[in-house]
Amino acid sequence: MTVFKGSGVAVVTPFKDGKVDFDSYGTLIDWLIDEGSDAIISCGTTGEVSTLTQAEQMDTIRFAVERVGGRVPLIAGAGNNETAVAVSNSELAQKAGADALLVVTPYYNKASRRGLVEHFTAVAKSTDLPVILYSVASRTGVNITPDVCEELADVPNIAGIKEASGSISQVAGIARVTQGKGFDIWSGNDDMVVPLMSLGGAGVISTVANIIPKETHLMCEAFLAGDIAKARELQLWMNPLVDAVFMEVNPIPIKAALHLMGKIGYEYRLPMCPMEDGNYEKLKALMNEYGLV
């Protein structure tokens, strides 16, 4: 049940005058696909979904589905810290036409192992769509360990995990216990895509691909084609950019970067806010070195 292989972009949600800027969003989606992106992820962490109302979230997903138009898979962020809301999000995203769902661990609640299994199982049973788990303990306070993945891999429509622990040892543990179960692993850390793919990973769900979609796609494509040297070269080339777009909490720097490229306005919803002036200038200088501005 592989949803996609290669580079999926966790797309930012542009704002204008306090509302979702669908004109910029549509233009950005078109550019990302034209540059070779293998999937579009709408309303994930990078999409500032936690500042959207459910109505805004579904309007944004519905718009993304229509704009993508089947050119690549459209994966909708549907997670929530309340299982009932995550179930509702999943049902609505399916009705909106999403091809798959990205479901983050319940944040703040810090569910137990059993709670995680029951949460994700309930979400998966509420939809016919493939479900991608999302483990990012640095933001949610709870980790999805290999033994949890092993159990959830037996749920028919749980397709894999976006793994953002930053631990290659944990990735190896997940790969070991889920092999042969049709359970894919995508990197959630842009600086370790090639190491993760070396353990059988399917690619990346990327933040930095918002500004370098072609290169992120080519890195994954090269690895999948067996050209490890080229994939490694691109990974090492992009890592300074990766560091830059995470110098402040995501998605603050990546939205600033897209603004510097003239693709979106420089607007957030609190508690997200513009970058510190010094960091903004550092980002601008590095993007200039990379020929992006």
pLDDT at 53: 97
Q: Which residues pair with 135 in a beta bridge?
A: 163
Answer whether 180's CB lies under 8 Å from 205's CB: no
Coil, strand or helix at 227? coil
The answer to whether position 279 is within a domain reads no
Distance of CA 52 to the CA centre of its chain: 17
Mean pLDDT, the chain, rounded, equals: 97
Percent of the chain whose pLDDT exceeds 70: 100
pLDDT at 213: 99
Beta strands in the chain (DSSP E): 6-10, 15-16, 19-20, 39-42, 74-77, 100-104, 131-135, 158-163, 184-187, 203-206
Q: How confident is residue 271, by pLDDT bands cut at 50, 70 and 90? A: very high
Domains in the chain: how many in total? 1
The answer to whether position 63 is within a domain reads yes
State how far the Cα of 116 lies from the Cα of 110, in Å rounded to an integer: 9
**pTM exceeding the 0.95 threshold for the entire prediction:** yes
Answer whether 170's CB lies under 8 Å from 163's CB: yes
Lookup: tokens for 258: 């897209």
State how far the Cα of 119 lies from the Cα of 114, in Å rounded to an integer: 8
The answer to whether position 268 is within a domain reads no
Q: Which residues pair with 77 in a beta bridge?
A: 102
Phi–psi pair at 158, nearest 5 degrees: -85, 115
Closest CA relative to residue 205, chosen from 2, 36, 38, 1:
38
pLDDT at 119: 98
CATH code of 49's domain = 3.20.20.70
Read off the pLDDT of residues 2-13 as tens digits, 9 standing for 90 and up: 999 999 999 999
pLDDT at 13: 98
The answer to whether position 150 is within a domain reads yes
Read off the pLDDT of residues 64-83 as tens digits, 9 standing for 90 and up: 999 999 999 999 999 999 99
Contacting residues for 168 by C-beta, under 8 A, at least 6 apart? 192, 195, 196, 199
pLDDT at 125: 98
Residues carrying an active site annotation: 134, 162
User: Within a 13 Å sphere around the CA of 203, how many CA atoms are in the beta-carbon half?
Assistant: 25
The answer to whether position 263 is within a domain reads no
What number is the average pLDDT over the span 179-208? Answer: 98
Structural domain harbouring 223: 6-227
Q: How confident is residue 163, by pLDDT bands cut at 50, 70 and 90? A: very high
The answer to whether position 106 is within a domain reads yes
pLDDT at 239 over 90: yes
State how far the Cα of 170 lies from the Cα of 188, in Å rounded to an integer: 13
Answer whether 92's CB lies under 8 Å from 51's CB: no
Between the alpha carbon of residue 284 and those of residues 76, 121, 225, the distances in Å are: 30, 44, 34
pLDDT at 1 over 90: no
Tell me the H-state helices in 131-167.
137-140, 146-152
